[in-house]
Chains A and B, each alone.
Chain A
């Protein structure tokens, strides 16, 4: 009685390693958009200042950094030796907005399965939708902050008493942003996959990020790092991203092609590993969460 029939969806127990549901995720783009909207709208509901908070946070952090690390601790804000003048305020702000994006995205995506388990336990949608939406909603905040940064940047350029210049390297900025997205989402989904079984990593994320920040050139310039430690220091994939971002924005600074390519390599590798683990875990995470 059952004539051979083509079924649209077939669910079995076996799983192909590279079955990442990317096409399906694309079909759910409306959901991604709505999640982004939800994350962003809900964040600033019942606040007086609203999205202005996106600006206030990095602004205050930058002021504090400028006072504490710049004026009190007197840490260098130069990435290379030289006498081109870079306002420390702008230096700290460039590092802060990048780090803020990286850390909030990593933290948000590392929570994907735990935070959405109620919905995900009831209904299927491509699970990748959630981390993508997180990354995009944080990106909106980043762009608001980036615009603020551009205002200060333009102000210092127009003042003309700094070493900042506009160079073709500026074209690297979008690449840096893309790399930040890939790296933070990659790390985030790896952590979120592992935390479905072991909650330890969820504990680690918060202060791990804090420690990571001290290992990255955000509160100090690269000059502070001794030359013999440099290759070790640059193993941290976020370091080349931030120094390159600064080099692109200011027209001078530290840029090493091999570290830059290494950074891309690590980011892409982590992202790919993340996707594979994530799509493997998402099938049965409800049983272990």
Chain B
């Protein structure tokens, strides 16, 4: 089968960096250091009072990762900052060489350039298309054949014979993206390039990318922190964590795992909120000191199980009528909805514990995050928030099986509303 062809094979690849001052020093420093070492004196180039504790230590940006990518796959690579995403892309695009392991490529690799890299301000848009295309490995002939498509896609036709130094940054990106998108490369690498450019163009780019991938069987490696674009474009994700592959497979699962990794203490049942620094006026008068998921070893809920939580509050003033608000977000912190408690009162100097039952049975399985705030509602129905610690409290809804249908998050999202009711059903005669 053609589609089964492996385009990229990463085999036990690692990349080591040396920590501390090493690169970019001057020869003089190095010679001084060398002579001091021979004569057993202290290093004269060292700043006084510092201990070079990480001098000469190494850091494994990638620590033995392996995976294979088949033709036409669109892979999202996610991970927190420093997980090794960019290093991986650098190795694949041959910007730098691995310390160990093998990378096998079956075809040309095109990396999407950052805004304006490889562009020369004095040259016109058209000349820069040729330049940029050639940097990415196209021949002049190939660019000739595609120049019209490229100009059309870039939406810059009007300015194509103007030096690009007069372009806006958005136009830069559009032009750069257009060149890369029309490349005949078998493997495309995109590192968060879509961050610039207006929404409409972003959408156009993502559509173009999945289009070329589906029609021409191009392989795409896409790095982003924007989970929504990952969902739109990719059909598989690889989660990197501290230089190893933490997960490889289904998108939603991968994103959940990534969010778990990102939260650090993933899935805790108890949060001490007393010392967490607050934004704005939060916590001045009233403080949420503790949050717990009750009766649980870990915040994982099965099917229709209600979620019972406990909140500890302390107040500096008397408040007659306040409410708890729980906001629910999905694993990429997109807001899903909120739920409001009944009124309660709290008095000056008192500690109070509230136990609440959340009914979230409309949520589909997956990882979620909840946020707490305490508000009071004015007569005009506007509200004022007394405290919002801003902590992301993760919980998971698991193994929820609907009797009638298998849930597809990629189509339907996170909420299943109650079933529709037939008001009437009748046969119509023409």
Interface residues of A (CB under 8 A from B): 2, 5, 7-13, 15, 28, 30-31, 33-35, 37-38, 41-42, 45-46, 118-125, 197-201, 283-289
Known: A10-B104, A198-B27. A38 touches B118 (CB 8 A): no
Known: A122-B114, A125-B137. A197 touches B122 (CB 8 A): no
Residues of B within 8 A of A8 (CB): 105-107
Residues of B within 8 A of A13 (CB): 97-101
C-alpha gap A227/B138 in the complex (Å): 56
Interface residues of B (CB under 8 A from A): 5-6, 9, 17, 22-28, 30, 68, 90-107, 109-111, 113-114, 117-118, 120, 122-123, 127, 130-131, 134-140, 163
- Contact, CB under 8 Å: A121 / B95: yes
Residues of B within 8 A of A124 (CB): 93-95, 109, 111
22 intermolecular pairs with C-beta atoms under 8 Å apart: A2-B9, A5-B5, A5-B6, A9-B104, A9-B105, A10-B104, A11-B98, A13-B101, A34-B140, A37-B127, A42-B120, A119-B117, A122-B95, A122-B113, A122-B118, A123-B117, A124-B111, A197-B24, A201-B27, A284-B96, A286-B90, A288-B23
C-alpha gap A34/B95 in the complex (Å): 21
Known: A38-B131, A41-B123, A123-B95. A200 touches B9 (CB 8 A): no
> Quick one: which of B95, B102, B114, B118 has the most chain A CB within 10 A?
B95
- Contact, CB under 8 Å: B118 / A119: yes
From A46, which residue of chain B is reached at the shortest CB distance?
B122
From B189, which residue of chain A is reached at the shortest CB distance?
A123
Known: A13-B101, A123-B111. A5 touches B106 (CB 8 A): yes
- Contact, CB under 8 Å: A287 / B23: yes
- Contact, CB under 8 Å: B135 / A12: no
From A30, which residue of chain B is reached at the shortest CB distance?
B140
C-alpha gap A2/B4 in the complex (Å): 9
Residues of B within 8 A of A30 (CB): 134, 138-140
- Contact, CB under 8 Å: A200 / B104: no
Other A-B pairs beyond A11-B97, A122-B95, A123-B136, 14, CB < 8 Å:
A2-B6, A2-B68, A11-B104, A13-B98, A28-B137, A34-B134, A41-B123, A42-B123, A122-B114, A123-B95, A124-B95, A197-B25, A199-B24, A288-B22
C-alpha gap A41/B130 in the complex (Å): 14
C-alpha gap A63/B17 in the complex (Å): 54
Known: A9-B105, A11-B94, A34-B131. A42 touches B122 (CB 8 A): yes
C-alpha gap A38/B93 in the complex (Å): 24
- Partner pick for A38 among B98, B107, B123, B136, CB 8 A cutoff: B123
- Partner pick for B97 among A7, A37, A283, CB 8 A cutoff: A283
Known: A10-B104, A38-B131. A283 touches B96 (CB 8 A): yes
Residues of A within 8 A of B68 (CB): 2
Residues of A within 8 A of B136 (CB): 123, 125
C-alpha gap A109/B88 in the complex (Å): 29
Residues of B within 8 A of A35 (CB): 131
Residues of B within 8 A of A33 (CB): 140
C-alpha gap A71/B314 in the complex (Å): 96
C-alpha gap A31/B133 in the complex (Å): 9
C-alpha gap A168/B424 in the complex (Å): 106
Known: A5-B5, A34-B130, A119-B117. A125 touches B135 (CB 8 A): yes
From B136, which residue of chain A is reached at the shortest CB distance?
A123
Residues of B within 8 A of A45 (CB): 122, 163
Known: A5-B6, A7-B106, A198-B26. A286 touches B91 (CB 8 A): no
Residues of A within 8 A of B25 (CB): 197-198
Which 5 pairs between the two chains have the least Cβ-Cβ distance? A288-B23, A124-B94, A7-B104, A31-B134, A283-B97
Residues of A within 8 A of B137 (CB): 28, 125
- Contact, CB under 8 Å: B135 / A31: yes
From A121, which residue of chain B is reached at the shortest CB distance?
B95
C-alpha gap A265/B25 in the complex (Å): 33
Residues of B within 8 A of A122 (CB): 93, 95, 111, 113-114, 117-118
- Contact, CB under 8 Å: A287 / B96: yes
- Contact, CB under 8 Å: B93 / A123: yes
Residues of A within 8 A of B95 (CB): 120-124, 286
From B142, which residue of chain A is reached at the shortest CB distance?
A30
Residues of B within 8 A of A38 (CB): 120, 123, 127, 131
- Contact, CB under 8 Å: B97 / A289: no
- Contact, CB under 8 Å: B96 / A11: no
> Quick one: which of A38, A122, A123, A200 has the most chain B CB within 10 A?
A123
Known: A31-B134, A198-B25. A12 touches B101 (CB 8 A): yes
> Quick one: which of A35, A119, A201 has the most chain B CB within 10 A?
A119
Known: A122-B117, A125-B137. A7 touches B9 (CB 8 A): yes
From B17, which residue of chain A is reached at the shortest CB distance?
A287
Residues of B within 8 A of A199 (CB): 24, 26
